[in-house]
């Protein structure tokens, strides 16, 4: 993805609209009532909008079909532009729809959550869930532009900041030891955080990786750190109708994967720093607002998570493949994880 795809202010987006195409908007329905940063009001007032109720439930064939039907109703062509405004689930769904409607139309992403700004909107991966499996159907398709503006973060509740903080932490753990140390000085709700600095640092880690491995044949796989276990937790939660945020699930997954990495580490120093990183994640995840998801997640039976991990799309036919940290900022991919080892480190982690 070329650097000029990324914009860090709204005026750049509005100045560069392609005048020869029509524009349509897909947006998280929360912005019917939440205050929208002033620079973006023109987008809602000037174009036709399709509202999406965000959440994992929206990443379905039914919701995709509804938007395809809407695009057909408003006579959208493959030469038009779709502007997608919202968090990770909204941009996943919207980008999947855009990449498949009439074999693909131009789209712009405006992530409104921390998770979207540092992870979900970057990299061209999009998709929907199918048969209880996360992101089972999707494409690799890049947006023409991504507008990253931290003024949207003012609209977020605490738990949404924590969700994004987990993905930001993941980027630091697999790719930037200095950023990880800096994050350790804060909690996601500290009022003196320089969000522009942290978002640019976190997103640049992913940008650098995907520029060398867009289709995830090698190094890009390290960005799945914590996700094999996290996605399994989300699948079990969906089956039992238990609310569980993606970032929170990934955070729990990273704790287990850090213990697995420490178990496999050669050096005592690496074992210690990996366990310390696990403890830091726990401090962020365990607070008065997250008692229920923490208790639910850590009470799960690892043998019941394993079947979902076996179905993860990163696996080969014979093995569950996971990410092992060698140390903070250094990771190996395609590391076979055995069921007995997973059960052992799960019990050790909690």
Q: Tell which CATH architecture fits domain 3-155.
A: 3-Layer(aba) Sandwich (3.40)
Domains 3-155 and 158-349 are alike in CATH topology = no
Q: Give the global pTM.
A: 0.89
**136 vs 332: CA distance, rounded Å:** 24
Q: Which of 6, 21, 39 is nearest to 204 (CA)?
A: 6
pLDDT of residue 294: 95
Q: How many CB atoms lie within 10 A of CB 6?
A: 18
pLDDT of residue 39: 85
Mean pLDDT per 10-residue segment, the chain (350 residues): 59 54 92 90 91 94 97 95 95 97 94 94 92 89 92 90 96 97 94 94 93 92 96 93 94 98 91 96 84 93 95 80 95 95 96
Domain ranges for the chain, please list them.
Answer: 3-155, 158-349
Q: Which of 303, 305, 333, 307 is nearest to 321 (CA)?
A: 333
pLDDT of residue 318: 75
pLDDT of residue 132: 83
Tokens of 346: 């799960």
Class of domain 158-349: mainly alpha
pLDDT of residue 1: 45
pLDDT of residue 316: 74
pLDDT of residue 135: 87
Positions marked catalytic: 103, 125, 167, 206, 216, 220, 224, 227, 231, 246
pLDDT of residue 12: 55
């Amino acid at each position: 993805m070329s650097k000029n795809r990324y914009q860090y202010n709204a005026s750049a987006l509005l100045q560069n609209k392609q005048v020869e195409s029509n524009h349509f908007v897909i947006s998280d329905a929360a912005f019917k009532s939440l205050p929208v940063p002033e620079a973006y009001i023109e987008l809602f007032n000037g174009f036709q909008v399709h509202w999406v109720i965000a959440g994992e439930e929206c990443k379905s064939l039914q919701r995709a079909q509804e938007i395809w039907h809407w695009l057909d109703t408003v006579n959208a062509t493959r030469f038009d532009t779709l502007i997608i405004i919202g968090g990770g689930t909204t941009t996943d769904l919207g980008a999947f729809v855009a990449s498949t409607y009439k074999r693909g139309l131009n789209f712009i992403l405006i992530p409104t959550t921390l998770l979207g700004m540092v992870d979900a909107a970057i990299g061209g991966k999009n998709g929907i869930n199918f048969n209880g499996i996360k992101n089972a159907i999707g494409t690799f398709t890049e947006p023409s532009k991504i507008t990253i503006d931290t003024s949207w973060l003012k609209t977020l509740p605490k738990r949404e900041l924590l969700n994004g903080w987990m993905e930001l932490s993941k980027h630091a753990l697999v790719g930037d030891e200095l950023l990880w140390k800096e994050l350790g000085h804060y909690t996601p709700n500290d009022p003196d955080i320089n969000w522009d600095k942290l978002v640019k640092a976190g997103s640049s880690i992913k940008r650098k990786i995907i520029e060398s491995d867009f289709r995830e044949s090698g190094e890009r796989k390290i960005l799945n750190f914590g996700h094999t276990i996290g996605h399994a937790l989300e699948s079990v939660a969906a089956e039992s109708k238990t609310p569980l945020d993606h970032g929170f699930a990934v955070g729990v997954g990273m704790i287990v994967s850090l213990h697995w990495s420490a178990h496999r580490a050669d050096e005592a120093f690496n074992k210690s720093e990996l366990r310390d990183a696990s403890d830091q994640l726990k401090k962020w995840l365990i607070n008065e607002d997250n008692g229920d998801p923490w208790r639910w997640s850590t009470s799960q039976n690892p043998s019941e998570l394993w079947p979902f991990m076996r179905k993860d799309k990163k696996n080969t036919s014979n093995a569950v493949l996971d990410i092992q940290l060698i140390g903070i900022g250094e990771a190996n991919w395609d590391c076979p994880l055995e069921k007995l080892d997973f059960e052992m480190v799960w019990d050790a982690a909690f």
